Amino acid sequence: MIAFTDLRAQYQAQKTEIDAAIARVLDHGRFIMGPEVAQMEQALAAYTGSGHCIAVASGTEAMLISLMALGIGSGDEVIVPAFTFAATAEVVILVGATPVLVDIEADTCNIDTAQIESAITERTRAVMPVSLYGQLADMREISALAERHGLAVIEDGAQSFGADYQGRKSCAVSTLGCTSFFPSKPLGCYGDGGAIFTDDEGLALACREIRIHGQSARYHHSRIGLGGRMDTLQCAIVLAKLKRFEREIERRIEIGGRYNLLFSKRGVERVSQRHDRTSVFAQYTIFVDDRPAVQRALEAAGIPTAVHYPAPLNEQPAYRERCVHGPLPNSEEAARRVLSLPMHAYLEEDVQDGIVAAVAKAVAGP
Ligand SMILES: Cc1ncc(COP(=O)(O)O)c(C=O)c1O
């Protein structure tokens, strides 16, 4: 079976550095808030060009802490795309606010900027665009619109760390940018991890305090927080992997571009990328009509696939009653048609050729 995301190949390519980084942490024993935490924060702030980076327990915690730092809560509304991983809306509900779902663009699957303005009410406090599959939404337009209405923008960059948008990096183009180091993400650790990025010193301080139970000094709890730290071992692993990250991103972009070329020759529909930004292809995603049949044919050919995501949030049992929304035709259609294919920086050309041929055959049908 071909690997969907080849974490083993990635580890083998960087084994010496990763093993040494882990050994250093085992040796110094400062497993919580050890020196690698601040080292990783500095390295990632520099990488993205953000003023501040705050390491947290996961991508979900990054968004939850961001909302808490902004003081968003009961009675507030936050605009979220309907087609995303549940965590984006989950954190809005957890702070007591209401997610207002907006439709996506049919071709990129990112939030449709044109639909945001009409979703704004006097209760709206923030917009949370998701950089789905590794590509940012129209952040310049979204930021301009947010500024006009006095709203914060929180990028859910869980899938897009390393992507460029008009010469700037994902997570450094909004009030707060959040990412995830879940193992299969473009920059993954070996457990859970995440980070918040911001240029706002006050928000950075709030995020740091919320991360450690709202403490502004030891056992002095000046605000309500949570246990949201990222552990030292995971930070050490991200730091070690950062050395090869740019090279891996280049490979992902090459492989994604090659998929695009091969699929356009064969008439297979795929998620589009805009010219003023890169995708880091956290997922390489195509559109198919009879998805179960295509998945069955690919599985028989030893090719794993995944569906990100099988239902928009308005169709999820826990979210149906808790979100506000208008018509969402593009989100509903994407949920019926998207199919993600094997994608990682170590995917070889002959393997990719085999995947493309098998997909084209499966899409053509019997
Ligand atoms: C779009 C999106 N948002 C949020 C998350 C949550 O990240 P984590 O698993 O690190 O909490 C994910 C991870 O799967 C994601 O893909």
Look at residue 1 in the predicted model and tell me its pLDDT.
85
Mean pLDDT of the chain: 97
Per-residue pLDDT tens over the stretch 271-290:
999 999 999 999 999 999 99
> Does any ligand 1 atom lie closer than 6 A to the CB of residue 175?
no
Instruction: Write out pLDDT tens, residues 192-240.
Output: 999 999 999 999 999 999 999 999 999 999 999 999 999 999 999 999 9
Cα of 129 vs centre of ligand 1, distance in Å, is 13
* Closest residue by Cα to residue 345 from 156, 188, 193: 188
Helices 7-28 and 232-266, axial angle in degrees (round to 10): 170
Q: pLDDT exceeding 70 applies to what percent of the chain?
A: 100
How remote is the CA of residue 256 from the centroid of ligand 1, in Å? 21
- Residue-wise pLDDT for 245-274, tens only, equals 999 999 999 999 999 999 999 999 999 999
In short, whether 137's Cβ falls inside 6 Å of ligand 1 is no
15 vs 365, residue with greater confidence: 15
Cβ burial 264-302 (10 Å sphere, 16+ → b, else e): eeeebebbebbeebbbbbbbbbbbbeebeebbebbeebe
Regarding the beta carbon of 60 and ligand 1, being less than 6 Å apart is answered yes
Residue from 180, 181, 185, 313 to probe ligand 1 pocket by mutation (most atoms less than 8 Å from CB)? 180
Burial class (CB in 10 A: 0-12, 13-18, 19+), 191: middle
* Residues 6+ positions from 133 with CB-CB distance below 8 Å: 109, 159, 271, 279, 281, 282, 283, 284, 285, 308, 340
170 close to ligand 1 (CB < 6 Angstrom)? no
- Taking the C-alpha atoms of residue 191 and residue 188, their distance in angstroms, rounded to an integer, is 8
- Report pLDDT digits (tens) over 25-43: 999 999 999 999 999 999 9
Instruction: Quote the Cα angle for 107-197-145, to 5°.
Output: 50
Q: Is the beta carbon of 72 within 6 A of some atom in ligand 1?
A: no
Distance, CA 27 to ligand 1 centroid (Å)?
31
Alpha helices in 130-231 (DSSP H): 139-149, 201-211
In angstroms, rounded to a whole number, what is the distance separating the alpha carbons of residues 97 and 158? 21
As a whole number of angstroms, the distance between CA 260 and CA 242 comes to 27
Determine whether the shortest distance from the Cβ of 159 to ligand 1 is under 6 A. Answer: yes
Residue 182: predicted pLDDT:
98
Indicate the pTM of the whole model.
0.98
Closest-lying ligand 1 atom to the alpha carbon of residue 60? 11
* 296 CA → ligand 1 middle, Å: 27
- What would the two tokens of residue 235 be? 């930070």
The string of pLDDT tens digits covering residues 82-128 is 999 999 999 999 999 999 999 999 999 999 999 999 999 999 999 99
